[in-house]
Structure 1
């Protein structure tokens, strides 16, 4: 790799992560023209166009996306090598970019963060709360919490805890209505629908013997936010299907009541995942170890 190509890598990666030349320039304490010149030199050196530029939007070309994936790994390896050579690998430090679902972040990670920060004061956390599927490599994240089945086999995953989703409703909703006794009874009730779930209106339930049932449900409220589903259930708007880590306290306090207590959605798990590599940075390792310590069963 030519030295001028290597010189342009950090600027290229920062432009992708910041989303614009001007934002990258501010982050790097450079002028926008200097950033633009470096990107131009890099494109000349590679003989490809890395960005599609318009007056309103900056996006990667297909070649740019492929180059970004490799460039991110190269910079991460260089940083790890520098830490190793300088005997700093044992001390977590630097910026750690983490993405995870909104509800888990607010309910569980946020209360735990003071302990992590107290232990590792040289780590700066950038937390992205997002319920959509995030491409970690393309968007430059070091670590993600994934709830459900792991579909991306290219990532390394470490299991943190079980994820059990159950049916529940408020006593106010059940008053004057027949409580469902079989999965098929749900079809006659107002069900609160989570729109990020594939086949959102088809609920799959399993009983204690492992027997599966499938029921089509409907209701008057659909949303992509599980915390709104919880609030809707507490307000008596219908039956909800949510993880115990969201509604467990409500069940214990009697604010919600289990529906079909012998049935639940097939169990999955909560994982911490990160891109594979020869070296796992100290800050990523420290955060994964902390998550296991805090949330493992």
Structure 2
């Protein structure tokens, strides 16, 4: 199959009317363009143009080939225009994968505000606590919390998530609030099993750096909402991201303890594949997420 370049070189040659001008259009030297046309005529077994010192004239075969060359040029131009439109127009879809806590708390408001500004952009958000392969599964970006593995992806830090220990007033009516991490041995510590450091290993500030304290309790779950409700019902203490219980702490339905001793703090990132031409809609969405998370720093 003949290369598209042959059609494009021939098209520009006829359109410009000279080898030097055609060379400027296609980024080649005049001599290379001349050799390409000569080789093209040899390969096709026909003469395509009559060359004189003043002008180029198409032969009958040249007229036919130029018609096809013009169609190839228009097709290439249309394809480039279409791709440029996809990169810049503020419509279409954005697919993102997020962990449960992010998807249930801050993101719904952020997406609603973004959709109000750009109603033609469809946001498809999937909640999944597993480590999703963004490229393999066709996502534009992911929200991820914690240490990020080395990869070719780009990560935009949205904010830092501080963790807290808290319980309901009802629970503290039955149990004296802990004064330090050692006191947790006397408490029912509910476990959030979706943690990198382990559900029953709570991280604290130590004299020589962060240290873990082993705790125990009668309930564990990988669902943050269920863990929060268990705490609200007075079942025990929980060690969770502050954003999960920020409104409860403000309302007084949960009470924070060991506030200055808890050490866990994880970065929250928007992660996306590297691309030379990132669509404008994705770029705008990530910037909007950053502004939204920054605007809610008091909850983190």
Q: State whether TM-score is above 0.5.
A: yes
Contact 1:93–1:282 under 8 Å retained in 2: no
Partner of 2:30: none
The corresponding residue for 1:178 is 176
Please give the per-residue CA displacement for 1:4-54, whole angstroms capped at 9, x wherever unaligned. xxxxxxxxxxxxxxxxxxxxxxxxxxxxxxxxxxxxxxxxxxxxxxxxxxx
1:196-275 equivalent positions in 2, closer than 5 A: 196-198=194-196, 199-206=198-205, 211-275=209-273
Rounded Cα–Cα distance in structure 1 between residues aligned with 2:251 and 2:140: 37
Compute the displacement of 1:210 (Å): 7.5
Listed as ranges, the gaps of 5+ residues in structure 2 are: 4-78
Structure 1 counterpart of 2:62 = none
Which one of 166, 181, 200 corresponds to residue 168 of structure 1?
Answer: 166
- 1:290 corresponds to 2:293: no
TM-score, normalized by length of structure 1? 0.68
Superposition RMSD in Å? 2.5
Which ranges of structure 1 fall in alignment gaps of 5 or more residues?
A: 4-79
Kindly indicate whether the alpha-carbon contact (under 8 Å) linking 1:183 and 1:213 is maintained by their aligned counterparts in 2.
Answer: no
The reply to whether residue 113 of structure 1 matches residue 136 of structure 2 is no
C-alpha separation in 2, matches of 1:171 and 1:237: 11
Measured in 1, the distance between the counterparts of 2:239 and 2:200 equals 11
C-alpha displacement of 1:250:
0.9
Q: For 1:48-59, what aligned pairs fall within 5 Å after superposition?
A: none
Q: Deviations over 1:82-114 (max 9, x none)?
A: 55544x533222221111122222221112322
Once the two structures are superposed, the pairs formed by residues 29-44 of structure 1 within 5 Å of their partners are: none
1:250-269 deviations in Å (ceiling 9; x for gaps): 11111111111212233221
Q: What SS does the aligned partner of 1:187 have?
A: helix
Task: Determine the C-alpha separation between the residues in 1 that align with 2:263 and 2:179.
Answer: 16
The question of whether the paired residues in 1 share the 8 Å contact of 2:88 and 2:279 is answered with: no
CA contact (8 A) 1:166 1:263 kept: no
- CA shift, 1:118, in A, is 2.1
Counterparts of 1:220 and 1:82 in 2: how far apart (Å)?
Answer: 61
Q: Deviations over 1:172-229 (max 9, x none)?
A: 111131221111221221111111213222111126x774232111111111111111
Tell me how far apart the structure 2 counterparts of residues 186 and 200 of structure 1 sit (CA, whole Å): 14
**Distance (Å, rounded) in 1 between the aligned partners of 2:116 and 2:256:** 39
- CA distance in 2 between counterparts of 1:174 and 1:121 reads 48
Q: Which protein is bigger by CA-based radius of gyration?
A: 2
Task: Give the TM-score normalised by structure 2.
Answer: 0.67
In the TM superposition, structure 1's runs of 4+ consecutive aligned residues that sit over 3 Å from their partners are 80-86
Measure, in 2, the Cα distance between the counterparts of 1:139 and 1:180.
46
Inter-partner Cα distance in structure 2 for 1:219 and 1:119:
47
- CA 1:111–1:170 in structure 2 vs 1: closer, same or farther (change >3 Å)? same
CA contact (8 A) 1:155 1:273 kept: yes
Matched, 1:125 2:123: yes
Q: How many residues align?
A: 219
Deviation readout 1:136-187 (Å, 9 max, x if unpaired): 1222111111122222432211111110001101111111312211112212
